[in-house]
A and B are shown apart, each in its own frame.
Chain A
């Protein structure tokens, strides 16, 4: 049983299937999410597959500042994803509603409506950062496999900002950290 659990943890970490949903995004983050699957970044090396149906997915990727129209759809899709599942908020919009803050057409940020596991900040975030966020979410999924009762959400993870200069997923410098904290609030 223990061996089976270990195998399950390992499999979950190595096979995150994504479902992408747009909650009123400007399309910037959507393009970056697709870019992370293209030959240059090739997220399939981590076993990532972009699925057409939320029923197949493990990880729900949501972009955009969550317009009032999108709330119902997002809740429906969240319920359609079969457990265990994780949610990634891609971009600064679902985390803070970004530049659209105080707009009367918005119902964001995202964590008011569904539990979020990983925030990937950036406007838009680089594909490296998105892949790092997906890997982190897959780790969270694997941890949930180890426990018998899928526990209530621990505090969400905020991924570091990845600058254009550093070519890989890394937190470079204290300026990035300050920005990350700012986004987290």
Chain B
């Protein structure tokens, strides 16, 4: 029974069968929201799906040797890591089995970003290398805040287990952590104030410059899955506790949708920052609050 539930979670909800259409849907919502905010009508509903199918049907340039093999492998590793992260989310009320671990989820969420860095460097394109260097710098900046936020949430609730976190009532400190995660999400998803690695007017497409056809389709899919996983993480931490499974699923989807709208609105309303401004933003402005959150969480824990 446990095996069946675990498989159902990984393959159906919130796993692959839900996550892939959700990824396309979120990509569409982002493009549509940005278009509406710019006074345009925007792409049709099925657009990310059409893009995906079209890219599958395109040819790829010949890739030779170990470098070529690696270039082909990165997008698939990124997709599987992001899909695994979505499958781990404790959306439905727990019924035994593997309960999900916050540290494993963080590792899986970080893997696509590492794949992007490696892909840019193995592509050999100068624009890819610049994009990868930017991605690395960005990752070092926001991850400190992201990890501290997660640590403060875990410390305030005395657990690293995802399903335990999702089913405890939220303390004020957890809300602080959720806000800190929200501040990191635009950088994690390469959205506009921090869209440095794929800055299209400066360095073409950054690490993706040399990718074409099915490999590019996999990158698009992994980006969409990252959207689902990242917004899903915030949604599970912020969602109220519900016993019935359909209400839990509904609240999860609605919260994800609201977060996507919020992030798209921020992306449409802002311009790209410089790399040093971004680093300063995370290391100087946000880090203080994250450290305060962790300190107060630990303090509360020792007092209790």
Once the chains bind, are B58 and A83 in contact (CB under 8 Å)? yes
Residues on B with beta carbons closer than 8 Å to the beta carbon of A51: 205
Binds A, one of B42-50, B222-230, B252-260: B42-50
Check if B39 sits within 8 Å of A8, measured CB to CB: no
**A163 → chain B closest CB, angstroms:** 24
Is A58 part of the contact surface with B, judged by Cβ < 8 Å?
Answer: yes
Q: Is the beta-carbon distance between B204 and A82 smaller than 8 angstroms? A: no
How far apart are A44's CB and chain B's nearest CB, in angstroms? 5
B54 touches A15 (CB 8 A): yes
Interface residues of B in 121-177 (CB under 8 A from A): 127
A-B contact count (CB 8 A): 85
Quick check: B47 and A82 within 8 Å, CB to CB? no
Taking a contact as CB atoms closer than 8 A, the residue among B42, B53, B216 that contacts A44 in the complex is: B42
How far, in whole Å, are A82 and B213 apart by their CA atoms in the complex? 8
Given contacts A7-B53, A47-B50, A82 and B209 within 8 Å (CB-CB): no
Instruction: State whether A12 touches B57 (Cβ < 8 A).
Output: yes
B31 and A11 form a contact (CB under 8 A) = no
The residues in B between 26 and 51 inclusive whose CB is less than 8 angstroms from any CB of A are 31, 35, 38-44, 46-47, 49-51
Interface status of A84 (Cβ within 8 A of chain B): yes
Q: How far is the CA of A10 from the CA of B35 in the complex (A)?
A: 23
- State whether B31 touches A53 (Cβ < 8 A): no
**Nearest-Cβ distance from residue A5 to partner chain B, whole angstroms:** 9
Report yes or no: A55 in contact with B61, Cβ–Cβ below 8 A. yes
Q: A11-B50, A12-B54 are in contact. Are A44 and B211 (CB under 8 A)?
A: no
Size of the A side of the interface (Cβ < 8 Å), in residues, is 24
Set of chain A residues within 8 Å of B50, measured between Cβ atoms = 10-11, 14-15, 47
Q: A82 near B60 (CB under 8 angstroms)?
A: yes
**Chain A residues near B35 (CB, 8 Å)?**
42, 44
Q: Which residues of A contact B42 (CB under 8 A)?
A: 42, 44-45
8 A Cβ contacts from B173-220 to A: 200-201, 203-205, 208-213, 216
Q: Say whether B59 faces chain A, with CB atoms less than 8 Å apart.
A: yes
Known A-B contacts A7-B53, A11-B50, A11-B54; A55 and B209 likewise in contact (beta carbons under 8 Å): yes
A10 → chain B, closest Cβ, in Å?
A: 7
Q: Taking the nearest CB of chain B, how far is it from the CB of A35, in angstroms?
A: 13
> How far is the CB of B210 from the nearest CB of chain A, in Å?
6
Q: Per-residue 0/1 for A12-56: is the Cβ within 8 Å of any B Cβ (1 yes, 0 no)?
A: 101101000000000000000000000100101101000111011
The reply to whether B54 and A8 contact each other, CB–CB distance below 8 Å, is: yes
Which of A47, A55, A56, A58 touches B47 (beta carbons < 8 Å)?
A47
Residues of B within 8 A of A45 (CB): 40-44
Please measure, in the bound complex, the distance between the C-alpha atom of A56 and the C-alpha atom of B214, giving whole angstroms: 11
Contact pick for B41, options A10, A42, A52, A83, CB 8 Å: A42
B60 with A145: CB separation less than 8 A: no
Q: Which residues of B contact A (CB under 8 A)?
A: 31, 35, 38-44, 46-47, 49-51, 53-54, 57-61, 127, 200-201, 203-205, 208-213, 216
A contact residues vs B (CB 8 Å cutoff): 7-8, 10-12, 14-15, 17, 39, 42, 44-45, 47, 51-53, 55-56, 58, 80, 82-84, 145
Q: List the 9 closest pairs (A to B, CB-CB), nearest first.
A: A52-B204, A11-B53, A55-B212, A39-B39, A11-B54, A11-B50, A42-B40, A82-B212, A52-B200
8 residue pairs of the A-B complex, CB under 8 angstroms, read: A10-B50, A12-B57, A39-B39, A44-B35, A47-B51, A55-B61, A55-B209, A84-B58
Q: What 5 additional pairs, Cβ within 8 angstroms, besides A8-B53, A44-B41, A55-B209?
A: A17-B51, A39-B40, A55-B210, A56-B205, A84-B58
